């Protein structure tokens, strides 16, 4: 059950990050991929900063921040 919840949070975070960074989402599979990778990035960044997140909302915020960072880095690499 935790894995399914992880995927749902990833899809939501990916969709929100897509809307923030480019004005629309990437489709369900794209949102899921961005969100899952973003969850990993967000966990690493929050850990390095000493920020602890708890519960569903904390996981969503961490995943969203990581997804936005991922899309920002991808956007930087596309401009060169």
Residue ranges per domain, the chain?
2-72
DSSP state letter for 63? H
pTM of the model: 0.88
Higher pLDDT, 73 or 25: 73
Tens-place pLDDT, residues 24-67: 777 888 888 999 999 999 999 999 999 998 999 999 999 999 99
Q: Which of 71, 74, 9 is nearest to 36 (CA)?
A: 9
List alpha helices for the chain, DSSP H: 2-22, 27-49, 55-78
Determine the longest span between alpha carbons in the chain, in angstroms.
42
Residue 68 and residue 38 in contact, taking contact as beta carbons nearer than 8 Å: yes
Provide the token pair at 20.
């923030």
């Amino acid at each position: 059950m935790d894995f399914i919840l992880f995927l749902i949070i990833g899809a939501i975070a990916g969709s929100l990050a897509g809307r923030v960074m480019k004005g629309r989402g990437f489709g369900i599979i794209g949102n899921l991929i961005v969100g899952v990778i973003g969850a990993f990035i967000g966990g690493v960044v929050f850990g390095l900063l000493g920020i602890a997140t708890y519960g569903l909302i904390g996981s969503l915020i961490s995943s969203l921040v990581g997804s936005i960072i991922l899309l920002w880095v991808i956007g930087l690499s596309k401009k060169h």
